[in-house]
């Protein structure tokens, strides 16, 4: 009996391929011979060949990539031994048999691994214990094992493994990308409560970084940092309150305290004495007396900027310089600077650039601790060591810096001689008054101009 062309080509493909299914034969026919034959027709042909004992078939159907059960077919020479088949991440053995072979062992059908089994495999093969989000598990399954599973399906399986089977634990709070899962709850706490603070957004990590660096901050401090554009931080009251509440619940060392309308966020693991001093300092500046002194200090800084930049340079041209630029209250890596003036002496072609860093002291007598020493308890630098660190590691790196101290009142005896050895120039209020008298400038007019240009109720 003469065979059809389709049957001949099916037999040829079976000999070329180790094992086949109706779908694989259909794809190969279309690829090699440009023949479009449906898997249903191929399945009928394969079944006839098997019943004629020309090929062998698996004793049980096997679940493939499409999650449909299909029989495997092979050449008669593969019947003697079981075939070791690898279906994605699950190894199994498949027994082949002839038609009518009653001695062939028949077990349960071979299935593709379930989502639960895949998740177990991901966690068991981790090099380092790490809690994962459903999307991360889906990505690992696709890239490492070649198995595509939707994150929603994984999330559903994960919840069953948590609440039904007790095989996994889930983070107490959800994040923007969902919940974190891991067999050991201690690993979830370790990854969320310490660096890299897994699950937290960029702005939440920035808040934690600020708290770690400064021990205690206020919501106004966060808004000021956001206004400078250096950090991606929230400024809206509702968003900021939500973020702070979330951090307080997730991070054990994060504490909050309400002082009036202001929220203070602080590091609960900090040294108790240092923390107390820091909180007392913040509360003082938030009090009525602190606000008054801060306003007075800001007015003196505004006076200095107006005097040195607007009056001396712009109006009187007493500074023989070009390309001058002034920046007020600049925050460096080691502290804040009241006024920075960058200017070029002489012709611009010579590029003789200098940076003048002003420190204004408005109240009380200036002590050596304000300028020279480093306070270990408060973790704060004096004016001089702060500048020295900035010149080596901070914003003034590689620049010629000239520090200038402007005093409204008095200074500790002997201190001027010491700080001048560090290259610090001192400008006293008497010198400022002498300059104004020489230029016939009425100090009252300057104060009015300062209020008009700079002063804002704080």
Strand ranges for 112-212 from DSSP E: 169-170, 181-182
Q: Rounded to whole angstroms, what are the CA distances from 121 to 172, 248, 350?
A: 24, 34, 68
Of 34, 31, 57, nearest to 46 by C-alpha is 57
Buried b (16+ CB within 10 A) or exposed e, 154-183: bbebbeebeeeeeebbbbeeebeebbbbbb
User: How many distinct structural domains can be found in the chain?
Assistant: 4
DSSP letter, residue 335: -
237, 163: one domain: no
- Structural domain contains residue 103: no
- Structural domain contains residue 37: yes
252, 153: one domain: no
Highest average pLDDT, of 168-177, 234-243, 378-387, comes from: 168-177
448, 319: one domain: yes
Residue 449's pLDDT band, with cuts at 50, 70 and 90, is low
- Structural domain contains residue 260: yes
- Structural domain contains residue 102: no
List the beta bridge partners of residue 244.
none
Distance CA 120, CA 390 (A): 51
Report the share of the chain in percent with pLDDT over 70: 79
- Structural domain contains residue 126: yes
298, 352: one domain: yes
40, 121: one domain: no
List the beta bridge partners of residue 407.
361
Q: Which of 170, 193, 216 is the last residue of a domain?
A: 193
299, 323: one domain: yes
314, 433: one domain: yes
Contacts of residue 225, defined as CB under 8 A and 6 or more positions apart, other chains included, come to: 206, 210, 231, 233
- Structural domain contains residue 198: no
440, 308: one domain: yes
For the domain that residue 396 is a member of, what is the CATH number?
A: 3.40.1350.10
- Structural domain contains residue 438: yes
Residue 374 has pLDDT above 70, yes or no: no
Q: Which of 257, 286, 315 is the last residue of a domain?
A: 286
Report the share of the chain in percent with pLDDT over 90: 7
- Structural domain contains residue 106: no
Q: What is the pLDDT of residues 380-417, one digit of tens each?
A: 667 777 777 777 777 777 678 888 888 877 888 888 88
Q: What is the pLDDT of residues 10-22, one digit of tens each?
A: 888 888 887 888 8
Q: Which of 159, 193, 227 is the last residue of a domain?
A: 193
322, 408: one domain: yes
The residue with greater pLDDT, 304 or 147, is: 147
256, 305: one domain: no
299, 444: one domain: yes
Cis amide linkage into residue 445, ω under 30° from 0: no
For the domain that residue 71 is a member of, what is the CATH number?
A: 1.10.10.10
Rounded to two decimals, the pTM is 0.49
Contacts of residue 419, defined as CB under 8 A and 6 or more positions apart, other chains included, come to: 371, 372, 384, 405, 426
432, 334: one domain: yes
Q: What is the pLDDT of residues 317-347, one digit of tens each?
A: 555 555 566 677 777 777 788 888 887 766 5
Domain with 330 in it: 290-453
């Amino acid at each position: 009996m003469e065979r059809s062309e389709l049957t001949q080509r099916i037999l040829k493909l079976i000999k070329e391929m180790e094992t086949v299914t109706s779908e694989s034969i259909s794809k190969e026919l279309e690829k090699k011979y440009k023949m479009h034959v449906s898997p249903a027709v191929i399945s009928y042909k394969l079944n006839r060949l098997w019943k004629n004992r020309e090929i062998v078939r698996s004793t049980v159907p096997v679940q493939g990539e499409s999650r449909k059960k299909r029989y495997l077919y092979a050449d008669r020479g593969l019947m003697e031994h079981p075939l070791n088949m690898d279906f994605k991440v699950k190894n199994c053995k498949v027994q082949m048999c002839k038609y009518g072979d009653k001695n062939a062992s028949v077990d349960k059908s071979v299935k593709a691994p379930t989502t639960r089994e895949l998740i177990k495999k991901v966690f068991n093969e981790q090099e380092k214990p790490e809690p994962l989000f459903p999307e991360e598990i889906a990505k690992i399954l696709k890239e490492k094992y070649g198995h595509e599973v939707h994150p929603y399906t994984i999330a559903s399986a994960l919840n069953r493994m948590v609440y039904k089977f007790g095989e996994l634990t889930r983070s107490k709070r959800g994040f923007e990308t969902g919940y974190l899962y891991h067999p050991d709850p201690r690993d979830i706490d370790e990854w969320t409560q310490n660096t890299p603070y897994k699950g937290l957004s960029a702005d939440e990590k920035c808040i934690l970084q600020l708290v770690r660096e400064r021990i205690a901050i206020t919501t106004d401090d966060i808004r000021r940092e956001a206004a400078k554009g250096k950090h991606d931080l929230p400024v809206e009251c509702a968003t900021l309150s939500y973020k702070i509440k979330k951090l307080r619940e997730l991070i054990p060392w994060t504490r909050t305290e309400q002082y009036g309308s202001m929220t203070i966020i602080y590091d609960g693991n900090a040294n108790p004495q240092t923390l107390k001093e820091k909180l007392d300092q913040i509360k003082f500046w938030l009090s009525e007396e602190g606000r008054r002194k801060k306003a007075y200090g800001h007015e003196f800084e505004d006076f200095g900027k107006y005097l040195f930049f607007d009056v001396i340079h712009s109006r009187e041209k007493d500074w023989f310089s070009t390309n001058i630029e002034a920046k007020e209250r600049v925050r460096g890596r080691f502290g804040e600077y009241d006024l920075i003036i960058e200017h070029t002496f002489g012709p611009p072609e010579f590029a003789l650039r200098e940076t003048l860093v002003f420190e204004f002291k408005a109240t009380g007598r200036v002590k050596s601790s304000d300028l020279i020493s480093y306070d270990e308890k408060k973790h704060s630098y004096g004016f001089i060591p702060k500048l020295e660190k900035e010149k080596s590691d901070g914003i003034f790196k590689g620049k010629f810096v000239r520090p200038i101290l402007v005093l409204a009142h008095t200074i500790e005896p002997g201190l001027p001689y010491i700080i001048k050895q560090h290259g610090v120039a001192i400008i006293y209020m008497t010198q400022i008054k002498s300059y104004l008298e020489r230029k016939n400038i009425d100090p009252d007019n300057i104060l009015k101009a300062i209020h008009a240009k700079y002063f804002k109720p704080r």
